Amino acid sequence: MATESPPLLEADVPADPFALFSQWYLAAEALQLPEPSAMTLATATVDGVPDARMVLMRGFDERGFVFYTNYQSRKAGELAQNPRAALVFYWAALNRQIRVEGQVELISVAESAAYFRTRPLGHRLGAWASPQSQVIEDRQALEDRLRAVMSQYGESEDVPRPPHWGGYRVVAHTIEFWQGRVNRLHDRLRYRRAGEGWKIERLAP
């Protein structure tokens, strides 16, 4: 039998799901997990064909959850046709997961540019070098592209943001908090947008 986890009860949670998300995320960070911000991003084509991958959350607030990518990637193409997504955060050490569903929007150019400037130099160069999700001849072709970018910018730290790279925000309409419990009788509380606020519902495990 698994070790008992603390209960997740309606009487104990805040009315705002982002406040609870912040509490859980800070708890995951406190454990110094390798990538507490890692999340599964699920998208779908306009015909409903699903696609999923791991990405890193690079910010959150009451507006939603932000990640960055190449606007010419497969995920970007799917979001252009079908701007809806689902996210899953999973922290096994805490026996917790969070599921998010919502609409997806581009963040501002200014916000993307500001974040790009904080990235390590190699990551900024890589954003220029990689034609993300496209078929390439071999690894050498990618290395050649990187060398060309490095030659273009030389020793400069001032590498601009590529116009094809930037951020998205998942504007959540549903956020579910899952707390593992013994006998697989897990606690699941779902927040759903209701007018200007949120409605909290308990789901059977």
The residues carrying an active-site annotation are 184
Rounded CA gap, 7 and 25, in Å? 17
Rounded CA gap, 186 and 184, in Å? 5
Q: Could you write out the DSSP letters of every residue in 108-144?
A: PHHHHHHHHHHS-HHHHHHHHH--TTS--S-HHHHHH
Rounded CA gap, 127 and 72, in Å? 11
